[in-house]
């Protein structure tokens, strides 16, 4: 990415107000909700990349982790109110996401049980598939209860 103004954020996305310090320092993230679909996006900045100028794998994992939870929340009114810690996260890195590119992901809530949600997602870098993600999320306590206690629950 060259000095100067960053490329514009794609149309239809708005800033995502993040809760918690981890993703707040790793953003800014952007979201789009359209009908039953949810998308999360990020412009790759110098602080996000490894020495090869590609998005760091750990940063991509954090992005995907957040994406899967938000997809579940968006596609289920019941899940929307719950804290959902990740039980399992699988990523297939298909191609690099380079410095300056726009990554965007969307997904599907595949199934829920009494205590788990199964979610999958695809992330693109400038429109090209770069990561396939899937995860299992625990349906935890109500978010309002967690916030009232002032901390994340112990599992």
Q: What is the CATH number of the domain that holds 128?
A: 3.10.129.10
78 is a domain residue: yes
57 is a domain residue: yes
114 is a domain residue: yes
90 is a domain residue: yes
What is the chain's length? 155
Cα 10 to Cα 40: distance, rounded to the nearest angstrom: 11
Confirm if 84 and 98 have CB atoms less than 8 A apart. Answer: no
Residues 6+ apart with CB under 8 A from 107: 38, 67, 68, 71, 119, 120, 121, 122, 133
Domain count, the chain: 1
- Mean pLDDT, each 10-residue run in order, the chain (155 residues): 68 79 78 89 94 96 95 94 96 97 97 97 97 98 82 56
Cα 12 to Cα 14: distance, rounded to the nearest angstrom: 7
2 is a domain residue: no
The dihedral built from the CA positions of residue 124, 129, 130 and 131, taken in this order, carries a sign that is positive
72 is a domain residue: yes
6 is a domain residue: no
Give me the pLDDT at residue 116, please: 98
Give me the pLDDT at residue 15, please: 87
14 is a domain residue: no
Q: Which domain holds residue 103?
A: 20-149
Strand runs labelled E in 46-114: 86-93, 102-112
């Amino acid at each position: 990415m060259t000095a100067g103004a960053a490329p514009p954020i794609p149309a239809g996305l708005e800033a995502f107000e993040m809760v918690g310090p981890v993703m707040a320092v790793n953003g800014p993230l952007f979201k789009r909700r359209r009908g039953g679909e949810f998308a999360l996006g990020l412009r790759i900045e110098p602080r996000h990349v490894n020495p090869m100028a590609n998005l760091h794998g750990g940063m991509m994992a954090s992005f995907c982790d957040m994406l899967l939870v938000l997809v579940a929340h968006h596609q289920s009114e019941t899940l929307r109110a719950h804290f959902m810690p990740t039980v399992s996260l699988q990523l297939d890195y298909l191609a690099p996401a380079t410095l300056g590119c726009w990554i965007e992901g969307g997904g599907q809530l595949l199934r829920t049980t009494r205590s788990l949600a199964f979610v999958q997602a695809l992330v693109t870098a400038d429109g090209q598939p770069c990561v396939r993600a899937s995860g299992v999320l625990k349906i935890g306590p109500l978010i309002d209860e967690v916030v009232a206690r002032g901390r994340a629950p112990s599992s």
